[in-house]
Amino acid sequence: MSERLKSLKHWLNEVLDSSDYKLKPASEDASFRSYYRLFIDNNTFIVMDAPPPQEDCAPFVQVTTILLASDVNAPTIHQMDLKQGFLLLDDFGNDLYLNKLDANTANQLYSDAIKALVRMQSSADVNDLPLYDEALLRREMQLFSEWLLGKHLELELSDAQNKSIAALFDLLVENALEQPQSFVHRDFHSRNLMITADNNPGVIDYQDAVHGPITYDLVSLLKDCYIKWSKDEIDKWVDLYLQQQAEKGAEINRQKFQRWFDLMGVQRHLKASGIFARLSHRDGKHGYLNDITRTLSYIVDLKQDYSELAALCLLIEASVLPKFEAVS
C-alpha cells in the first residue's frame, strides 16, 4: 500500500469514525487526481484524492458552492481536508453521458444538459472566478503548437505558416472576448456529465471554472472531443439553447452567435489536441491520442464557411493528420 493511500485511509477512519468500509478505485481523469468509491452501511460515496502540490482542492470547493446555489446538480461535499487534498463527495453512479448517448437518448440527454448550462450561465455567481482573458486563451492555443506540432509530430512551420497561425490566434482571441461573458465550466462534455434520476445531469470536474465566453461550454458539449454528431443535430441543439436563453430574457442574434460558436470551437479544439498530446508524452496517458483526429475534424469541417481558417485547415489536412497517422 502506498503512503498516499495509507494517509487517505487514516483520514477516512477519522472522519467516518469507522474502519468498517470498503474502498475501490472508481476512475481517473486527465489530471493528477484519482477517485475511489467508498462503501459503508449500504451507502456509497466518492472519495477524491487530489495530491498537493499538483492539485489544489480549493477551487473545486468554491465552484461546488456556486453551482449548488444555482440549483445545478453538483456533488455535495460531506467531508474535506484541503491541506491533504482529500474530499468525500456524493456518488452520482457509473452512468456517464458518453456511455449512454445514442440516437434514441441524445435529444433528452442534451436537452437536460442545455437546461443545466443555461441555469449556470444565468444565475451562477462569477464575481470571484478567474477571468478567461487573453493570456489564458493564448496559453491554451499554444499547447497545440508546443505539444502536438512540436513534441508529438516534430513539425517545423515555415515563417509564412507561423505568421498565418499567429494571425488566426489573434482572431480567435478577439472572437472569445467580444462575446457576452458568463460562468464557464471549461470542460462541459460527455465525460463530465453523469446521468442522475433527479435534476439530470450530475455535473463534475468543474474546478477550472472561469468567467468567460458564453459559447465555450456549449461548443464543448455539442462538438465533443469524445463523440461526434451531424451538423443538423448540432444546429438543432444550438437552436434549443438559444430558445432557452430567450426565455431567460437574453436575445442573441443567431448568425452572430453561430460565428462565435464555431470560432470558439476552433480555439477549444486546438487546445484539446495539444492537451491530448501532452497527456501522452508527459503523463503516459496514451489513450487520449485516439481522440485527436476527431477533435481536429471539427476545425476542418469549417473550412468552407470561414476563409480565415484556410491556412490552418491546409496545415491540418496536408501535414498534421498525415504525420499523425504515420507516427501513431
pLDDT at 28: 67
H or E stretch at 87: strand 86-90
Contact present, 173 and 134 (Cβ < 8 Å)? yes
Burial class (CB in 10 A: 0-12, 13-18, 19+), 314: middle
Report pLDDT digits (tens) over 117-133. Answer: 999 999 999 999 999 99
pLDDT at 262: 98
Shared domain check, 132 and 71: no
Domain boundary among 68, 90, 112: 90
pLDDT at 328: 83
Helix (H, G, I), strand (E, B) or coil at 260: helix
Structural domains in the chain (count) = 2
Shared domain check, 80 and 193: no
Shared domain check, 315 and 176: yes
Report pLDDT digits (tens) over 47-88. Answer: 999 999 899 999 999 999 999 999 999 999 999 999 999 999
pLDDT at 172: 98
User: Which CATH number goes with the domain that contains 37?
Assistant: 3.30.200.20
DSSP H helices in the chain = 3-16, 58-69, 97-100, 106-123, 134-143, 159-178, 216-222, 231-247, 254-283, 292-300, 310-315, 321-327
Cα–Cα distance for residue pair 112/118, rounded to 1 Å: 10
Domain boundary among 55, 72, 90: 90
pLDDT at 30: 60
pLDDT beneath 70: ranges in the chain: 28-30
Domain boundary among 57, 90, 123: 90
Shared domain check, 215 and 198: yes
User: Which CATH number goes with the domain that contains 229?
Assistant: 3.90.1200.10
Residue 50 domain boundaries: 3-90
Q: For cell 473550412, what's the residue?
A: 303
Shared domain check, 243 and 283: yes
User: 14-48 burial, b if ≥16 CB within 10 A, otherwise e?
Assistant: eebeeeebebeebeeebeebbbbbbeeeeebbbbb
Residue 57: strand pairing partners: none
Question: Phi/psi zone of residue 61: left (φ > 0), alpha (ψ -120 to 50 degrees), beta?
Answer: alpha
